[in-house]
A and B are shown apart, each in its own frame.
Chain A
Amino acid sequence: MVLVPDGLDKVWRAQRLLLRQRYDECIEICSALLDKNPYDQAVWYLKCRALTMKNYLDDTEIEDEGVAEVLLDDNAIAKLPRPGTSLARPLTGAKSGGASQGVRPVSSSGRPLTGFARPGTMTRPGTQSTDVRGAFAGNRPGTSRPVTGSDRFVRLGTASMLSEPGGPFIAVEKLDLRKYAARPALARVLCDYVIYHDHNPKKSLELCAIATQLAEYKDWWWKARLGKSYYQLGLLREAERQFQSALKNSDMVSVTLELCKCYVRLDQPNTCLDAYARAGTNHPDEPQLELGKARIHDAVNDMAQSVTCYKRVLSIDSSNVEAIACLGAHHFYTDQPEVALRFFRRLLQMGVSSTELWNNVGLSCFYASQYDMCLSCMEKALALANDENMADAWFNIGTIGIGIGDLGLAYQSLKIAVSIEAKHAESFNNLGVLELRKGNVDQARANFQTAASLVPHLFEPFFNGALLAFKLGDFQESFELCTKSLDAYEDHSDSHELLKQLKQHFSTC
């Protein structure tokens, strides 16, 4: 129970609490005041605002796409888009300007690994795996649960309702929206409340529509909220129109960001980039716009462009974690571990501390020949690790073991990685190679098979298996595996060479 000293105005106190972001206390005072006088508009305003802020979610950021959106995506314009014009069909090969697949590994969606795990980089399946199994697989280890898209709003909504004693604060369904729309200040608060607290885009749409009409279609704020409501309902084209119209009234960064979110969902990366560029001329120092651009370039595999964008982000905002991480990863995979190390160290200086970061620092140290640092960094990474990323750390220790020629360490680390996460395909593949060096052909073969069955996007297990089968004289299996290897990485010259030899075997005599 919040105590308000005698003589202090309770409304003023609530107002201060709201400003100081102490929402729970603010709500408590407001509830007490409203119990006495339910028609006090000022108090109503404060409580409404506090509830909204409590549940606020920065929705200008990208979000995960749920299973329903991925499987039943009917927004794509072309069934077979040209490379680079769709997020599902990114640029390939030399055009991208980044490291090739032989150097930079790919994530489960078939894209080069990004330096920053953000929603959308992992889930949206590429060309190969848009099937039910792929969508439901869930990309975190230890869980088979996929993200269920807009359901997140629903879940958040129910949670917030439960926590509220005495039922909902505002029964939106019973309100006369027309009456509220006529009072601009209250209407805005109500609108935000409906969107962020109740997660009821249908009602907010109604309110926004009336309010825009009353504002004679000149108020950008109402149009932006209208667009947001449409977006949450999945009506992307309508949302796009509202955002564009809002931008005509007033050029706001947040509206541009939301507009671009629409384009991403509509799978139009190039239009999205245009929108960012247009906003960029009016807001040249806005890091979010540059960051958005960089993300889109990243998603269509245009590494050279995305790197310049990330650099620009850093020149505007020198402590942007995402940009630093991505640049670090880029430099690491383009043979500049020393430069990568500087970026990762910057992250450490900024106070970021996670398994992934320590792991990256350790690997960069290793490739920059700073062996004394590298193992202690990996130890730190292991100390911070949880079930999700411990296997990766052990895998990298295994890589270091191979690098310094300590194959015993490598073997044991990889075994540990596999024991922690039974689905760690990279470890299985490397274990196979180590077994092969020991002369255990059958075990090696089994390891390659396990790795290949776990992840169809890695070419290494397929190629290793194909090569082994070829050497053992089983050309049928070799052929099948080789074809799969080329599916995963079409420019792999060794696979092409092997396939050529196989075809020669098939066609002679």
Chain B
Amino acid sequence: MVRTGVSDDEGVLATSADVSSGASADTVVSAAGQKLKQGGTDAAQLNDANSDGAVLPRESINAHIHNLYVRQDFDECLKVIEDAVDKYEGLCEYPIYVKALIKRQTGQIAESLQLFQKATCLNPHNIANLKQVGRSLYLLGKHKAAIDVYEEANRIGVDDWEIYHNAGLCYMYLKAYELAIENFRSANQLHRHDSTYLQLGKVYTLMENYKGAIDVYLEALEFSPENPDILTTIGLLYLRLGENYRAFDFLGNSLTHDPKNPKTILAAGSIIQDHSDMDVALIKYRVAAVHTPNSAQLWNNVGMCFFGKQRFIASIACLKRALYLDPFEWIISYNLGLVHLNTGQYASAFHFFSASVNLKPDFPSSYMYLAITLAKLDDFENSCSAYEKAIEMESDHLFHLNYALTLASNGEFAKARQQYDHAFRIFEGLDDDSKGADMEVVEQFDTLKVALEQSGA
């Protein structure tokens, strides 16, 4: 009777399989002693016999393997594991387990899955093995199979946060968001972890429930207040919700912990830029440019900084480079259109706005600027239809006001009056902050009013 696959936890002594079949756990020492006398061919450094012929148990090597693994001395570790596996003819759980871990870390997941499965065969009740099998399946993209394994592991009865966490990840990939949230919550009840919070927040973001996501992240922040990833993510979410001040708080906080993260720098820079502090933003971008010199978003922001500083040539150069790097980014085309509109190159502006509209047809401002450009190019009819398209999508006082201006300058005063009234009504409905944001708008209202009165409309 040979015992196979003794687990570490139980701490039972075990010998190699070549012990005579009658040997039980009690007779280990004598049996091994016999073997030594027979010649001891495999007396490697793994199994040093004591002077009195006693043999170390097969677990004794585990500590050594563990040490090597933790030191990330993978080559040496694999060598020791190979020796152990040869010696015990594959009947050793821990070395196989570690070998699988190493294989995974070097990116050979399929092999690592096989090894974990082997370890599970040796000891089907070890929850660690099952967890790793599930993890490997998850990494290979076989999410359903992974969930089955986790369910199996749950049946063993030990509550483990990792099981819930990983099952949640699988559900997330299967787009079963409710189940994923449930699993992440269970994981957090057992043990709180940054990663679980991050994933939970991600699920909420995927469901476009940004408030929920922010709540999750804020909860995570109480648990680990210095995690730059969480800080950045909250900042970005606030930015998406339009709460720039709070976003900047979190991004700034994140930058103090990790000053070189390009994503954070880009987000923080864009807020600084929104407040017209171009030089500070440029300094921030300079740090990011070292790490990601080929980032289209970065060049786009740099370009708009120069635009803010009225340096149009530099701005166009930067934006062009951004467009070269990522021709699918509609906002770069849109920005280029703006710059060209400002420099009076209306034909170029038209091309960029039309490209932007082609790539993203549901952004009303593009249509307004397209209309302005068309008006400047003396294409009154198309300009009007572009204005109407923009207004149809969203009613904004700027759209109406610009439309009114175009109509007025083309002599259509009655229609202009109509648009002017629309614009004025919307403008009056705004709060004081947004009213005072752009003095030019107020000026234009006044001049238009005068012009309309003079024409008698």
Q: Report chain B residues within 8 Å CB of A403.
A: 323, 327, 355
- Are B351 and A371 closer than 8 Å at their CB atoms? yes
Closest CB-CB distance, A131 to chain B, in whole Å? 24
- Are A474 and B328 closer than 8 Å at their CB atoms? no
Q: Report chain A residues within 8 Å CB of B335.
A: none
Q: Report chain A residues within 8 Å CB of B449.
A: none
Closest CB-CB distance, A400 to chain B, in whole Å? 10
* Partner among B104, B108, B138, B356 whose Cβ is within 8 Å of the Cβ of A473: B138
Closest CB-CB distance, B30 to chain A, in whole Å? 42
CB neighbors of B among A66-93 (8 A) = none
B173 within 8 A of A: yes
* Partner among B104, B135, B141 whose Cβ is within 8 Å of the Cβ of A474: B141
- Determine, out of B211-219, B275-283, B291-299, B389-397, the stretch whose residues face the partner at the interface: B291-299
Closest CB-CB distance, A501 to chain B, in whole Å? 11
Q: Which residues of A are interface residues toward B (Cβ below 8 A)?
A: 100, 102-103, 335, 367, 369, 371, 399, 402-407, 433, 437, 469, 472-477, 479-480, 483, 492-494, 502-503, 505-509
* Partner among A402, A502, A506 whose Cβ is within 8 Å of the Cβ of B328: A402
B284 within 8 A of A: no
Q: What is the bound-complex CA distance between A369 and B165, given in angstroms?
A: 52
Q: What is the bound-complex CA distance between A335 and B299, given in angstroms?
A: 13
Q: Report chain B residues within 8 Å CB of A371.
A: 351
Given known A-B contacts A335-B320, A483-B107, A475 and B328 have beta carbons under 8 A apart: no
- Are B351 and A407 closer than 8 Å at their CB atoms? no
* Partner among B109, B138, B141, B358 whose Cβ is within 8 Å of the Cβ of A405: B358
Closest CB-CB distance, B162 to chain A, in whole Å? 5
- Are A473 and B321 closer than 8 Å at their CB atoms? no
* Partner among A476, A480, A507 whose Cβ is within 8 Å of the Cβ of B105: A507
Given known A-B contacts A493-B293, A503-B105, A508-B195, A472 and B358 have beta carbons under 8 A apart: no
Nearest 6 A-B pairs (CB), nearest first?
Answer: A405-B358, A405-B355, A474-B141, A102-B294, A479-B107, A476-B109
Q: What is the bound-complex CA distance between A402 and B141, given in angstroms?
A: 32
Q: Report chain A residues within 8 Å CB of B108.
A: 476
Q: Report chain B residues within 8 Å CB of A474.
A: 140-141
B141 to chain A: closest residue by CB: A474
Q: Report chain A residues within 8 Å CB of B330.
A: 405
Q: Report chain B residues within 8 Å CB of A502.
A: 107
Per-residue 0/1 for B262-277: is the Cβ within 8 Å of any A Cβ (1 yes, 0 no)? 0000000000000000
Q: What is the bound-complex CA distance between A483 and B105, given in angstroms?
A: 13
* Partner among B135, B294, B327, B359 whose Cβ is within 8 Å of the Cβ of A100: B294
28 A-B residue pairs with CB within 8 Å: A100-B294, A102-B293, A103-B294, A402-B327, A402-B328, A403-B323, A404-B351, A405-B330, A405-B354, A405-B355, A405-B356, A469-B141, A473-B138, A473-B173, A474-B140, A474-B141, A476-B108, A476-B140, A477-B141, A479-B109, A483-B107, A493-B291, A493-B293, A506-B105, A506-B107, A506-B139, A509-B131, A509-B135
Closest CB-CB distance, B312 to chain A, in whole Å? 13
Q: Report chain B residues within 8 Å CB of A100.
A: 293-294
- Are A506 and B104 closer than 8 Å at their CB atoms? yes
Q: What is the bound-complex CA distance between A506 and B356, given in angstroms?
A: 40
Closest CB-CB distance, A355 to chain B, in whole Å? 23
Q: Report chain B residues within 8 Å CB of A433.
A: 328
Q: Report chain B residues within 8 Å CB of A399.
A: 327
Q: Report chain A residues within 8 Å CB of B348.
A: 369
B110 within 8 A of A: yes
Q: Report chain A residues within 8 Å CB of B333.
A: 405
- Are B141 and A369 closer than 8 Å at their CB atoms? no
A436 to chain B: closest residue by CB: B328
Interface of B is mostly: helix
B357 within 8 A of A: yes
Closest CB-CB distance, A466 to chain B, in whole Å? 12
Closest CB-CB distance, A10 to chain B, in whole Å? 67
- Are B355 and A404 closer than 8 Å at their CB atoms? yes
Q: What is the bound-complex CA distance between A327 and B140, given in angstroms?
A: 48
Given contacts A404-B351, A506-B105, 18 further A-B contacts (CB under 8 A): A102-B293, A335-B324, A371-B351, A402-B327, A405-B355, A407-B359, A472-B141, A473-B173, A475-B139, A475-B141, A479-B109, A483-B107, A493-B291, A493-B294, A502-B107, A505-B139, A506-B139, A508-B195
Q: What is the bound-complex CA distance between A476 and B137, given in angstroms?
A: 10
B143 within 8 A of A: yes
- Are B140 and A335 closer than 8 Å at their CB atoms? no
Q: Report chain A residues within 8 Å CB of B166.
A: 509
Closest CB-CB distance, B191 to chain A, in whole Å? 12
Q: Report chain A residues within 8 Å CB of B325.
A: 102-103
Closest CB-CB distance, B229 to chain A, in whole Å? 11
Q: Report chain A residues within 8 Å CB of B165.
A: 509
Q: What is the bound-complex CA distance between A472 and B317, given in angstroms?
A: 36
CB neighbors of A among B134-182 (8 A) = 135, 138-141, 143, 162, 165-166, 173
Closest CB-CB distance, B109 to chain A, in whole Å? 4
Per-residue 0/1 for B323-349: is the Cβ within 8 Å of any A Cβ (1 yes, 0 no)? 111011010010000000000000010
Q: What is the bound-complex CA distance between A437 and B359, given in angstroms?
A: 10
Q: What is the bound-complex CA distance between A473 and B170, given in angstroms?
A: 9
Closest CB-CB distance, B249 to chain A, in whole Å? 26
Q: Report chain A residues within 8 Å CB of B359.
A: 405, 407
- Are B320 and A367 closer than 8 Å at their CB atoms? yes
Q: What is the bound-complex CA distance between A473 and B143, given in angstroms?
A: 8
Q: What is the bound-complex CA distance between A469 and B140, given in angstroms?
A: 10
Closest CB-CB distance, B145 to chain A, in whole Å? 12
Closest CB-CB distance, A111 to chain B, in whole Å? 19
- Are A405 and B357 closer than 8 Å at their CB atoms? yes
Q: Report chain A residues within 8 Å CB of B293.
A: 100, 102, 493
Q: Report chain B residues within 8 Å CB of A509.
A: 131-132, 135, 162, 165-166
- Are A404 and B139 closer than 8 Å at their CB atoms? no
Q: What is the bound-complex CA distance between A380 and B359, given in angstroms?
A: 28
- Are A335 and B105 closer than 8 Å at their CB atoms? no
- Are B107 and A480 closer than 8 Å at their CB atoms? yes
Q: What is the bound-complex CA distance between A404 and B141, given in angstroms?
A: 37
Closest CB-CB distance, B259 to chain A, in whole Å? 17
B291 to chain A: closest residue by CB: A493
With a 10 A CB-CB cut-off, give which of B140, B294, B317 has the most chain A CB atoms. Answer: B294
Q: What is the bound-complex CA distance between A118 and B270, given in angstroms?
A: 46
Q: Report chain B residues within 8 Å CB of A103.
A: 294, 324-325
Q: What is the bound-complex CA distance between A509 and B129, given in angstroms?
A: 11
Closest CB-CB distance, A333 to chain B, in whole Å? 9
Q: Report chain B residues within 8 Å CB of A477.
A: 141
- Are B320 and A476 closer than 8 Å at their CB atoms? no
Closest CB-CB distance, B156 to chain A, in whole Å? 17
Q: What is the bound-complex CA distance between A100 and B105, given in angstroms?
A: 30
Q: Report chain A residues within 8 Å CB of B132.
A: 509
* Partner among A473, A480, A494, A503 whose Cβ is within 8 Å of the Cβ of B141: A473
Q: Report chain B residues within 8 Å CB of A102.
A: 293-294, 325
Q: Report chain A residues within 8 Å CB of B138.
A: 473
Q: Report chain A residues within 8 Å CB of B355.
A: 403-405
Q: Report chain A residues within 8 Å CB of B131.
A: 509
Q: What is the bound-complex CA distance between A100 and B294, given in angstroms?
A: 9
Q: What is the bound-complex CA distance between A399 and B355, given in angstroms?
A: 13
Q: What is the bound-complex CA distance between A399 and B326, given in angstroms?
A: 11
B352 to chain A: closest residue by CB: A369
Q: What is the bound-complex CA distance between A407 and B131, given in angstroms?
A: 46
B355 to chain A: closest residue by CB: A405
Q: Report chain B residues within 8 Å CB of A472.
A: 141
B131 to chain A: closest residue by CB: A509
Per-residue 0/1 for B101-134: is the Cβ within 8 Å of any A Cβ (1 yes, 0 no)? 0001101111000000000000000000001100
Q: Report chain A residues within 8 Å CB of B327.
A: 399, 402-403
Closest CB-CB distance, B267 to chain A, in whole Å? 16
Closest CB-CB distance, B65 to chain A, in whole Å? 17
Q: Report chain A residues within 8 Å CB of B291.
A: 493
- Are A476 and B135 closer than 8 Å at their CB atoms? no
Q: What is the bound-complex CA distance between A499 and B183, given in angstroms?
A: 27
Per-residue 0/1 for B413-434: is the Cβ within 8 Å of any A Cβ (1 yes, 0 no)? 0000000000000000000000
Closest CB-CB distance, B81 to chain A, in whole Å? 18
Q: What is the bound-complex CA distance between A505 and B173, given in angstroms?
A: 14
